[in-house]
Structure 1
Amino acid sequence: MSDDFAHNDNWASNWAPVYEKFNSIRGRVAEAEETATFLERYCGGGSALELGIGDGRVAVPLSERGVRVEGIDNSDSMLTLLRERSDLINAWKGDMAKFRTEQRYNLVYCAYNTLMVLVTREAQINCLRSAADALHDEGYLVLELLVPAIGGFVGGQKTTTTLVDHENTFVTADIHDPLNQNLVSSLLWFSGTSVRRLPYRVRYVYHQELDTMAECVGLKLSERWGDWTGGEFTEASKRHISVYRRAGL
Structure 2
Amino acid sequence: MLDYEVSTYGDKSAADYDMLMGGGEPPEPAVAFLTSLVPTGNALELGVGTGRVAIPLAGDGLSVTGVDSSAAMLAELRRKPGGASVEPLLGDFGDLDAAVGDRMFGLVYSMCSTFYFLRTQEEQVRCFRGVAARLEPGGVFVLELGAPPYRRMHERQYVDAFRVRADEAAFFLSLHDPLAQRVDRQQIVMAEERTRLVPVSYRYVWPSELDLMAELAGLSAVSRGSGWSGGEFAGTGRHVSVYRKEAV
Contact 1:116–1:203 (8 Å) recurs in 2? yes
- Deviations along 1:56-84, whole A, 9 cap, x unmatched? 11100101112111111111111111111
**1:9 counterpart letter in structure 2:** S
Contact 2:39–2:61 (8 Å) recurs in 1? no
TM-score normalised over the length of structure 1: 0.89
Which among 87, 104, 109 is matched to residue 90 of structure 1? 87
Report how many aligned residue pairs link the two structures.
241
Matched, 1:238 2:241: no
Change (3 A) 1:52 1:155: closer
What residue in structure 2 maps to residue 56 of structure 1?
A: 51
Question: For 1:226 and 1:193, how far apart are their aligned partners in 2?
Answer: 39
Instruction: Point out where structure 1 has 5 or more consecutive residues left out of the alignment.
Output: none
How many Å apart are 1:180 and its aligned residue?
1.4
- Deviations along 1:140-176, whole A, 9 cap, x unmatched? 0000111011534776111111233455432111111
Instruction: Point out where structure 2 has 5 or more consecutive residues left out of the alignment.
Output: none
SS in 2 for 1:107: strand
How many Å apart are 1:247 and its aligned residue?
5.4
Question: For 1:226 and 1:248, how far apart are their aligned partners in 2?
Answer: 27
Contact 1:50–1:71 (8 Å) recurs in 2? yes
Question: For 2:77 and 2:28, how far apart are their aligned partners in 1?
Answer: 17
- Deviations along 1:113-159, whole A, 9 cap, x unmatched? 11101100000111111111111100000001110115347761111
Change (3 A) 1:226 1:168: farther
How many Å apart are 1:88 and its aligned residue?
1.7
1:1-249 matched pairs, under 5 angstroms: 7-23=5-21, 25=22, 28=24, 30-85=25-80, 86-100=83-97, 101-152=101-152, 156-165=156-165, 168-235=168-235, 237-246=236-245
How many Å apart are 1:44 and its aligned residue?
2.6
**2:16 counterpart letter in structure 1:** V
Question: For 1:32 and 1:155, how far apart are their aligned partners in 2?
Answer: 34
**1:245 counterpart letter in structure 2:** R
